[in-house]
Amino acid sequence: MFDGCHSSIEVTLAPVASRRDGWHPESQLGREDALLRHLDPEELSPDEALSALVAIQEHRARWDALETSLLVRAAGATGVVRDVLMQDVADRGERKVSLVDEVVDEIACALHRSYGVVIRQVHHARVLYGPLARTHAELAAGRITLQHASAIAEQADRLVDATAYERLQDRVLPYAVAETPAQTRSRARRAVVAIDPSGERTRRQRARRGCDVSAYAIDDGMAIVEARLPLGAAAWVIATVDASTRCSVRDGRASDPEWLSRHGLEPEATIGQLRAAAFVDLIRAGLSDTDETAGVGATRLNVEVQVMVDAATLAGLDADGVAWTQVGSGAPEAFGREDLVRLLADPTTHASFRRMITDPATGALVDRGARTYAPSPSLTAWLAARDGTCRFPGCVRRAARCEVDHAVDFADGGTTTIGNSGMLCRRHHNRKTHAGWEISDSQPDGSCILTSPAGRRYRHAPVELIPPTIQRTAPPPAPPPPGGTDARRQPEGPFPF
């Protein structure tokens, strides 16, 4: 089934699709695709171009319906759980490991999508292929898009009784053909409450288990703090931020220059900037009040910042070099010197830094030091800094939350070295140990080849910590010795770490 041969997929397509009532293999898909590929937009009038856009959307919907059928064929109509008994490493007896939908990892790798995306797509495909068959038929006919179908499937998940799916489709499908996906999602949300009002309390309690606060970096030195809260709590947070902002603003401008300076803002700061600064102040004030109530007194928040910098920038050879830092679970982003200095000068924050120095020619990690009380980094810390995430294709779980894996098992003579070791999350570690996945050609830079149980090979190439800044033909400068020097005795250095 996963041999990579296109002809085998074409052979199995028609009999699989024809088993579904209301879904017939569209023989014109190939012809439509060829016609659309040869359209010349320059030869069309604006009205004809609009008609072509509608045709493309309908055509794409039919392909999406076909993809959902293929996902079900590849992954199965229902989830598969396989229990494996394994010997505890501490010799405390056997323990059971449950492997759920192992084939989803194979699909994710083959399609170059993340596991989280594919498991959600497979789940929706199974629902559309089963109790939401009418929604699938509308998608296959091109009358709704995949976004409409996914919106209905997401809301159907809130219903405990699958027999209510028909009532949900009765209420939503007649309108979905003329509405946007957002309107369809809203209508389906209200329909769920109307269909099962007695289950609303249970759904709210279940949803509260998903409350969380996270942060991730975005472009240009910015980050997003995201909070999933109950509706009432969210309304209180926004009202509090608005009230605090109004207290700091007079005639549309902040009235306290010192407050503006503390947040790195100009007098012409936008209202959005002022609200963001007020939000930060509220968090700090809340933390201070909590500690004072507990008898601790004024607090200094301990913040550990992982700063990545290449050797040329650290040595001052590259005047335009920047440092990079990681916020939450996001990817490293550029971190300006002024932001770093502001963080160091903040009296409410005690900032400690982990310095990671990379080769400016290759971007590979060459040294990982620490400005903390902790001893020199262990092999696990080095691997976590090098890999960044789980080494399994498409997995983005942070390496700090993963486990050290031997590419060649220790029992088979593998050594605990940088070249033979890497980070795998618990799920993918179990896949390698118990589900037939293999790692070969593991290199000190973190690259390796993963081979699936079906024999497909996937090359893992780790993302460099920061982009290389020197041409590969130029000899890179020698990295500083591990541990570096104390920046407090070198204030003239380009970065204070």
Identify whether the C-beta of residue 442 lies closer than 8 Å to the C-beta of residue 420. yes
158 CA to centre of own chain: 23
Q: What are phi and psi of 96, to 5 degrees?
A: -100, 135
Which of 78-82, 242-246, 449-453, 489-493 holds the top average pLDDT?
449-453
- Say what percent of the chain tops pLDDT 70: 66
Predicted local distance difference test score (pLDDT) of residue 122: 95
What is the SS3 assignment for 174? Answer: helix
Mean pLDDT of 140-166: 91
Task: Indicate whether 189 and 117 sit together in one domain.
Answer: yes
Min mean pLDDT across 78-87, 108-117, 295-304, 446-455 is at: 295-304
Q: 39 in a domain, yes or no?
A: yes
Instruction: Supply the mean pLDDT for the chain.
Output: 74
Task: Tell me the per-residue pLDDT of 120-130, one tens digit each, with 9 for 90 and over.
Answer: 999 999 999 89
Predicted local distance difference test score (pLDDT) of residue 445: 86
Q: 282 in a domain, yes or no?
A: yes
How sure is the predictor about 39, in pLDDT bands with cuts at 50, 70 and 90? confident
Predicted local distance difference test score (pLDDT) of residue 467: 63
Task: Indicate whether 69 and 176 sit together in one domain.
Answer: yes
Task: Indicate whether 266 and 307 sit together in one domain.
Answer: no
Predicted local distance difference test score (pLDDT) of residue 412: 78
Q: 384 in a domain, yes or no?
A: no
**Residue 423 belongs to domain spanning:** 389-460
How sure is the predictor about 140, in pLDDT bands with cuts at 50, 70 and 90? very high
Other Cβ atoms closer than 10 A to 247: 9
Task: Indicate whether 275 and 339 sit together in one domain.
Answer: no
Task: Indicate whether 308 and 284 sit together in one domain.
Answer: no
Task: Indicate whether 244 and 277 sit together in one domain.
Answer: yes
Instruction: Out of 264, 293, 322, pick the residue that ends a domain.
Output: 293
Task: Indicate whether 250 and 198 sit together in one domain.
Answer: no
Task: Indicate whether 313 and 250 sit together in one domain.
Answer: no
Predicted local distance difference test score (pLDDT) of residue 185: 93
Task: Indicate whether 159 and 29 sit together in one domain.
Answer: yes
Q: 96 in a domain, yes or no?
A: no
Tell me: pLDDT of 216 over 50. yes
Mean pLDDT of 345-363: 58
Tell me: pLDDT of 14 over 60. no
Mean pLDDT of 189-193: 89
Identify whether the C-beta of residue 311 lies closer than 8 Å to the C-beta of residue 358. yes
Tell me: pLDDT of 315 over 60. no
Q: 494 in a domain, yes or no?
A: no
Task: Indicate whether 244 and 157 sit together in one domain.
Answer: no
How sure is the predictor about 238, in pLDDT bands with cuts at 50, 70 and 90? confident
- Count of structural domains within the chain: 4
Better pLDDT: 454 or 488: 454
Predicted local distance difference test score (pLDDT) of residue 172: 95
Predicted local distance difference test score (pLDDT) of residue 204: 82
Predicted local distance difference test score (pLDDT) of residue 326: 59
Q: How far apart are CA 10 and CA 51, in angstroms?
A: 30
Token pair for 295: 């008898």
Mean pLDDT of 20-30: 49
Q: What is the phi-psi region of residue 221: left when phi exceeds 0, alpha when psi lies from -120 to 50, beta otherwise? A: left
| 150 to 30, 132, 194, 257, 358: CA distances (angstroms) | 25, 11, 20, 50, 43
Better pLDDT: 438 or 16: 438
Identify whether the C-beta of residue 144 lies closer than 8 Å to the C-beta of residue 172. no
Better pLDDT: 476 or 154: 154
Mean pLDDT of 449-470: 80
Predicted local distance difference test score (pLDDT) of residue 83: 79
Task: Indicate whether 167 and 25 sit together in one domain.
Answer: yes
Q: 475 in a domain, yes or no?
A: no
Q: What are phi and psi of 290, to 5 degrees?
A: -65, -45
3-class SS shares of the chain: helix, strand, coil, % to 5: 45, 15, 40
Q: How far apart are CA 236 and CA 247, in angstroms?
A: 17
Q: 17 in a domain, yes or no?
A: yes
Predicted local distance difference test score (pLDDT) of residue 21: 42
Other Cβ atoms closer than 10 A to 335: 23
Task: Tell me the per-residue pLDDT of 366-386, one tens digit each, with 9 for 90 and over.
Answer: 555 433 323 335 578 888 888
Other Cβ atoms closer than 10 A to 276: 17
Predicted local distance difference test score (pLDDT) of residue 264: 78
3-state secondary structure 100-134: ECCHHHHHHHHHCCCHHHHHHHHHHHHHHHCCCHH
Token pair for 208: 């509260």
Tell me: pLDDT of 206 over 50. yes
Task: Indicate whether 316 and 227 sit together in one domain.
Answer: no
Q: 408 in a domain, yes or no?
A: yes
Q: How far apart are CA 322 and CA 334, in angstroms?
A: 7
Instruction: Out of 293, 320, 345, pick the residue that ends a domain.
Output: 293
Identify whether the C-beta of residue 99 lies closer than 8 Å to the C-beta of residue 430. yes
Other Cβ atoms closer than 10 A to 312: 22
